[in-house]
Structure 1
Amino acid sequence: MKLIRTLAEWNPLWLNHLQNKQQIGLVPTMGALHEGHLDLVRASKRQADLTVVSIFVNPTQFNNPEDFAKYPSTLDADLEKLDREGVDYVFVPEVSEMYPRPTELKFDFGDLERVLEGKFRPGHFNGVGVVVSKLFHIIKPQVAFFGQKDLQQVAIVRRLVSDLSIDLKLEIVPTRREPNGLAMSSRNARLNPEEKEKALILYRSLIHAKSRLEQGDSWNDIQQAVAQVFREEPSAELEYFELVDPETFQVYSEFDKTQKTSICVASYLGDIRLIDNLVIVF
């Protein structure tokens, strides 16, 4: 496994792999790696000739400076995990490498970024769009791997690739969960055991809602019931619990089993923000 920190280091390596007609798989991450990230790595190892993992905590996608400052950093442990998985390259750039000067480029993903995560994290998806574009242009992969847990981010990246005619394939890997159902997330590292147990309110609410939808209950009644459950948990603060099209993120007021549908939830647990989703019809 080789550590790469600059575009100048990567370019001759990429050119050599291009000449050898080797397919490159990219797994973009912000580090603090868990089994969910490693699922992406394993998918890349199965499909591509070479796997590149990027580790970069992108400052431009944090609308909350405190969240950026507290984001977990475990680079040494991350590199050990990736080495065990047989990753070929790890791209770990400095901020100055990715942003030699402050970027003035702005992405507008339309309605896709004005609901749910876009609404509650203004500017977040512009930062995602910029950094993902940079990574695609620097690494030049033929295939890139993203996790279903960040479902709206997946939709943003799909739009980016489509609208800019970027020549690569996107592979979406299912959410990896703890045995109790909690979606794996780098932010879970900030939760103590009691908070991790309370964080199950997200997953349990998704499962409860899916079951009631399948029984024919109205979405409005389900939303109200879930909101009440969150109000009764003092440590949890619900931001949204919505039924959406997983590609356009159109918010549905009613459930239609003939339409692509996912339930998405975001909540604070103390000062830690968690998200999750569950596919109902796809």
Structure 2
Amino acid sequence: MPTALITGATAGIGAAFARRLAADGFSLVLVARDEERLRSSAETLHRRYGVKTEALPADLALDEDIAKVEERLREGVDLLVNNAGFGHPGSFLDVPVADEVRMLKVHCEAVLRLTLAALPGMRERDRGAVVNVASVAAFFTRGTYSASKAWVVNFSESTAAELTGTRVRVMALCPGFVRTEFHDRASMDTSGIPGFLWLSADKVVAAAMRDLALGARVSVPDIRYKVIVGVGRLIPRGLTGQVSRRLGRR
């Protein structure tokens, strides 16, 4: 039975990955900060799908907790989903530097370290995959969040290129606005986001798994966002920055 490790596994896209992979017969290692919620999620998935579930409480903003997850990955997994992440309600100049550094720790350093912990075993077995959850924001300019997600996309593509000729895959998943707890946790006002731009987490994961099977290095779920990203790449960066500031949170 294959094993998947998912960070940020108790809500949103991470929880949707857990449901999908459990339904596909994966044993699960679930990683999140809230230990009580994490163990409840693990037990629910075990009862519903009959798969082995393991709860691994960890805050990926802390070195010692990243190290715990690295150690588990070195024991061997078949799929790593780096999903943990968060946003800030304010603009870059209004956010305390400690909060910005914490975001970079979770979005960039943890993704790098966990990917590096998982890949040697996958390469030795010549099978396995890593999905790094980024965002459509990676293709636009909006503060540290979009900058960190742009790093995730570039890192994923670069790592995938290094694995050419193997059966190990690395893919960046770049969803748009998804109905999860993400915006509420960051105290973001999403009233300015048009209703047609919202996606469901389960559909995002279904698209991701399909693209991963097809060997994609970057997955942008839904034709609406494929068009947005395509247009965004054609217009000047300064203009895309103005658009991104006006759309979405206030």
TM-score interval for Structure 1 and Structure 2 normalised by the shorter chain: 0.3 to 0.5
Q: If each structure's helix is expressed as a fraction of its own residues, which one has the higher value? A: 2
Larger Rg: 1
Q: If each structure's strand is expressed as a fraction of its own residues, which one has the higher value? A: 1
Alignment TM-score, normalising by the size of structure 1: 0.40
